Amino acid sequence: MPDILIADDNKQIVSILEEYARKEGFTVTTAYNGNDALKKFLGAHFDIILLDVMMPEKDGFEVCREIRRNSTVPIIMVTARGEDFERIMGLDNGADDYIVKPFSPAEAMARIRAILRRITREDTSSAQTLTIGDLTVNLDEYTTQIGEIKITLTKKEVEILWTLAINKNKVFSRENLMNSLWGYDYYGDTRTVDSHIKRLRAKLDEVPHPLWEIKTIWGVGYKFEVSAL
């Protein structure tokens, strides 16, 4: 039975989501402010977290950053209607998905199911390690190194890097990446891909890697370009 943490300062929303989640077979833990959400996260195991942006004590962005220092647990951020900057900030801070208020509980459950199905598929795949020049990506342990330097990436960033690198010099459209990594039943748009790529590049670029790069193919998408090794 999967465990979910629902964090939102609106008790009515939490109550409705809790009811739907229990019907889906989840064990539900609730929190109504950022500090409580972090305390409960640190004290238990969760399979997925639904995290509101606007909460007292610590907002959702800060909570997401703190969680990402310790865990790759999937996080869905709940943002205000029309606030693009909130969705972008959530993704930049390590969220896997976002949902915009007002939303139906059924939509929230569909997002949660989609992410958990994808994780189940990943967990049943064979363990693999990819090495290209000075880059090593371990998909089993979700670790990344450039030379001897470990690069701290989120689970989704590792998946993007793996997908591009294992298909080196192949161009992926944003739609290709969206369908491969988020699934056909994902409700977001291709800006999600751009935001994750931007964050991934920034982390990789902290260490020189002249033999390869994630390159933008304007009007098409992205590719992992490798020079002569």
Please state the domain count of the chain: 2
Same domain, 115 and 147: no
Pair 147, 62 in one domain: no
Give the CA distances from residue 104 to residues 39, 94, 147, in Å, rounded to whole numbers and listed in that order. 28, 24, 46
pLDDT of residue 182: 75
Q: What is the pLDDT of residue 32?
A: 96
Domain shared by 74 and 10, yes or no? yes
Q: Quick one: 117 and 20 in the same domain?
A: yes
Question: Is residue 134 within 8 Å of 144, Cβ to Cβ?
Answer: no
pLDDT at 139: 84
Domain termination residue (choose one: 90, 106, 123) = 123
For residue 117, the enclosing domain spans 3-123
Residues 175, 116: one domain?
no
CATH of the domain at 214: 1.10.10.10
pTM above the 0.75 mark?
A: no
Buried b (16+ CB within 10 A) or exposed e, 144-165: bebeeeebebbbbbbbbbbbbb
Pair 21, 93 in one domain? yes
State whether 94 and 176 are in the same domain. no
Residues 88, 24 share a domain? yes
pLDDT of residue 136: 93
- Do 14 and 110 reside in the same domain of the chain? yes
pLDDT in tens, the chain (229 residues): 789 999 999 999 999 999 999 998 899 999 999 999 999 998 888 999 999 998 999 998 999 988 988 788 889 988 876 566 766 777 777 888 888 888 889 888 988 888 887 766 555 444 578 888 899 999 888 899 999 999 999 888 999 999 999 888 889 988 888 877 876 455 556 678 888 999 999 999 999 998 899 999 988 899 999 875 5
69 and 141 belong to one structural domain: no
| CATH number, domain with residue 33 | 3.40.50.2300
**Where a domain ends, among 88, 123, 158?**
123
Check whether residue 79 and residue 150 sit in a common domain. Answer: no
Distance, CA of 132 to CA of 213 (rounded, Å): 11
